[in-house]
Amino acid sequence: MRTLFFKIFLWFWLAMAALIAAIIVTVTTTQNEPIGPGLRDAAANAVTIYAQSAAEIFERGGKAALFSYFERIERETGNEAYLFDAQGAELSGRQADAEFVELARRAQTSDKAEFNFSGFQMAVAKRQTSVDGRRVVLVSRMRRTSMFEPRASMAVRLLRGLAMLLTAGVVCFWLARYLTSPLVKLSKAAKRLAGGDLSARAGLTGARRDEIGDLSRDFDQMAERIESLMTAQRRLLSDISHELRSPLARLCVALELARQKSGEEAASSLDRIEREATRLNSMISQLLTLSKLESGAETAQRREVDLAKLVREVAEDAEFEARGRNRSVKVFAAHPCAVAGNETLLQSAVENVVRNALRYTPEQKAVEIALRRELNGANGSAIITVRDYGVGVPPEALAKIFQPFYRVADARERQTGGVGLGLSIAERAMRWHGGEAFAANAEGGGLIVTLRLPLLPGAGEPISR
């Protein structure tokens, strides 16, 4: 009801209907000639024949014969007839209306037929000279259903109006479709582009030469520019990551040589260099993983992965790390779930989310992990939720935390050790597996990150918590 197509169709159709109604009303109210000349002549000829017959019958049979003749005409044709003499007296004895008397008076002095239109009826008067030389005038009231009536019946007029309205509706439908169909294509292309498909194009470059065509061409140029920029950015990340690997490897070798030749006084400095080198190596690995996921270079074969086992293993590794920081990791639910995917990518995604939660969970608190099944008919999803008890994220930043290198000032400080790539890798890994990742602030504080993956058919039944 709110679409542009429906609005254009409805308003054009109403405009056409109003135009048809205005034409009908205008023609009906302003028409000076209810019937054309041809029908006038036909009506005058018919009345002339009636007058000749009526005059002869009156001369032969008198008033009674004329009365019978007029009744037979009315039964057979539905038309009333009256015969007046030169003094205006009706000769058959029928009671005539005043308008017929007046019309007969006008016809007595006229050489042509006289007409009078009233509502849905037409009266015609014609002077005739009988055999004995008497002047008489026959007046006939012809109904609108007669052969002389040019206007159709109410049912026919309604049918004609309906036909015009339907014709207008078809024309308006195709006009609205012509105007809105390129906008629908443009909308679909925009949604694909927003969903990450940088090859999306409206595809109306040569089909339209109007403003909509210009809009489509501008959109395609914008999409092409965005695709080139994003491709260049991904290539830059990949190239930089590869180029940094070699000097970093040489730095690690030099570090070991320096450690062997130096004394105790340089140990603390060398340890700091080693930590920073390890951190840099981890960041480069994450950049390479992110670059592969975004460019589509990750083409590892998909196999059946036991998510429950994977989640428990990630939790055990994270728990070992968390103990040294006075924190803990707890698995609250692990329903049996199997998905088709790359186990290494899935493990990396879950690990990144759990490690991110450990960074912002205060001491003496636990990171909570849950794996549950969500059934929806024949299909289903595996839902992994990871909750921390940190300060949370501002609502306007919930969607942005999955962008590479994005930081929230209040919650993502550099002191935590993160570089803003872990959640990005998790989100890209979910998309690579046909799933999604999203975040929400938890009641009572903290952040809940949810990873959703499509289940394999028949991958087990849910168990109680």
Active site positions, annotated: 242
Which alpha helices (H) appear in 85-210, and where do they start and end?
A: 98-108, 154-194
Which pair of structure tokens corresponds to residue 458?
A: 């028949």
How many Cβ atoms from other residues are within 10 Å of residue 320's Cβ? 10
Cα dihedral 192/195/199/203 (nearest 10):
20
From residue 289, alpha-carbon distances to 52, 300, 345, 356, 429 in Å are 110, 12, 9, 17, 9
Q: Are 111 and 105 in contact (CB under 8 A)?
A: no
Which pair of structure tokens corresponds to residue 394?
A: 């501002």
Helices (H) and strands (E) in the chain, counts: 9, 11
Least Cα distance to 342 among 222, 434, 414, 261 occurs for 434
Cα gap 177→355, rounded to integer Å = 53
Q: CA angle, 422 as apex, 418 and 425 as ends, to 5°?
A: 155
Cα gap 330→357, rounded to integer Å = 12
Least Cα distance to 367 among 349, 382, 385 occurs for 385
**Count, residues in the chain:** 465
